[in-house]
Structure 1
Amino acid sequence: MSDMFLDGAELQRLTARRFKSKQIEWLRKEGIPFRVSATGHPVVTRGAIEGKKEEPAQPQRWTPRVVGAH
């Protein structure tokens, strides 16, 4: 199974950029969704470039229990 995120070499190959600031600039220009890590590096999921739609996490909906109902 492959990793969920692109590694540094894959990101460099995708963007053809070596520096994180230039990679971020390229990703924004191309409209590829990414996040920035605590170290300032772009983080791209494989799904973002493979064309798979990422499902947002659905918060669990709280359902009240009715007193006395079984």
Structure 2
Amino acid sequence: MFLSIEELVQLTGRKMKAKQIIALRAMGVPFFVNAFGQPVVARVAIEGRPQVSGERAARASWQPRVVAG
């Protein structure tokens, strides 16, 4: 669900929490900071989401008429 501490170090190239946060911001990786001050990155933010195709794509791109107008 979330990257491990070791994976976070590998991703950012940093061991210090503050430096990891700076690196994640520079890379544009979405994260939040937990109560320990440790950045937490959801695994899906790195792995990406599956491509949407077919009927699911039509539903994903739907907009109400008020917005599409």
TM-score (norm 1): 0.68
Deviation at residue 52 of structure 1 after TM alignment: 1.9
Tell me the distance in 2 between the aligned counterparts of 1:41 and 1:52.
24
Q: Which residue of 2 aligns with 1:66?
A: none
Kindly report which structure 2 residues correspond to 1:10-21, keeping only aligned pairs within 5 A, or say none.
10-21=7-18
Q: Which residue of 1 aligns with 2:63?
A: none
Kindly report which structure 2 residues correspond to 1:52-67, keeping only aligned pairs within 5 A, or say none.
52=49
Identity of aligned residues (%): 56
Q: Which residue of 2 aligns with 1:7?
A: 4
Tell me the distance in 2 between the aligned counterparts of 1:52 and 1:24.
23
Counting helix residues as a fraction of each chain, which structure ranks higher?
A: 2
User: Which stretches in structure 1 are left out of the alignment for 5+ residues?
Assistant: 54-70
Q: Which residue of 2 aligns with 1:50?
A: 47
User: Which stretches in structure 2 are left out of the alignment for 5+ residues?
Assistant: 51-69
Q: Which runs of 4+ in 1 moved over 4 A?
A: none
